[in-house]
């Protein structure tokens, strides 16, 4: 099962295509990859051929047992960097908006539980 994660900027954030905001998204993606996650970027687009692609702040990640702890620190840091930031998690038909690392980990634990139940039912 996949987790779709969307970084929703705060009203206080600079414009989404600004160098500063794009740099934050790029750093977050690199940190998550360095922690061993296989991210698939969603909605990356290039504004001009000679520019780096503009990141949408959306990724797809395979749901796993340790995902909550791996995502918690870097995503929690992103959330805390500006008041009003939100992360939207979509797992199957379940969608939740979180604003803290603790909420993020809780939602992922619940989703993992439902995934395990669904897999057990399918194997029964």
Q: Which pLDDT score, from 0 to 100, does residue 70 have? A: 83
pLDDT at 41: 87
Q: Are 59 and 26 in contact (CB under 8 A)?
A: no
Give first-to-last CA distance, the chain, whole Å: 18
| Low-confidence stretches of the chain (pLDDT beneath 70) | 44-53, 65
Nearest CA among 66, 2, 55 for reference residue 27: 55
Q: What is the pLDDT, as a whole number, of residue 38? A: 85
**Which strand ranges, in their side-by-side order, compose the sheet holding 86-91?**
39-42, 58-62, 2-8, 86-91, 94-98
The pTM score is: 0.82
């Amino acid at each position: 099962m996949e987790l779709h994660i969307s970084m929703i900027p705060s009203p206080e954030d600079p414009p989404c295509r600004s160098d500063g905001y794009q740099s934050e998204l790029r750093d977050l993606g690199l940190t998550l990859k360095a922690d061993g996650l296989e991210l698939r970027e969603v909605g990356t687009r290039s504004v001009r051929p000679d520019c780096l692609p503009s990141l949408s702040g959306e990724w797809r990640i395979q749901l796993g047992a340790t995902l909550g702890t791996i995502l918690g620190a870097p995503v929690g840091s992103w959330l805390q960097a500006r008041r009003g930031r939100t992360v939207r998690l979509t797992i199957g038909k379940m969608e939740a908006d979180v604003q803290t690392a603790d909420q993020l980990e809780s939602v992922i634990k619940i989703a993992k539980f439902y995934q395990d139940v669904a897999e057990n039912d399918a194997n029964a």
